[in-house]
Amino acid sequence: MKWLGGVPINRSSSHNVVRETVRQFKDHKELVVLIPPEGTRSKVKEWKTGFYHIANMAKVPILMGYVDAEKKEAGFADFFHPTGDIDKDLEEIRNFYKPINGLITKNS
């Protein structure tokens, strides 16, 4: 992904990624940030919320993308505009993803 302009992030410690990404949105007229979903390397019980804070603070929408392995389809649904009510918004986002059966790995 580096050749596309991707920036790898070391998740083992805090690097002010949310604040820096919000600053990048303010400094660039056009910017796309791709944040892979939780659980891509190991199963998780709770989502991290950095993606939400970035979108809310930068005042940009979240494009809801998905891979449904059972239906063998992938795509983008719609833009979600954060309201600032993180609990309500995350519930709505989770409800969107509930019926979608993601990829299952041996480590799941």
pLDDT tens, residue by residue, 54-95: 999 999 999 999 888 889 999 998 999 999 999 999 999 999
Handedness of CA 24, 59, 88, 77 (dihedral sign): negative
pLDDT tens, residue by residue, 9-59: 776 677 788 999 999 999 988 888 888 766 555 667 788 899 999 999 999
Calculate the alpha carbon distances from 13 to 10, 18, 37, 78 in Å. 7, 13, 18, 32
Q: What is the pTM of this model?
A: 0.80
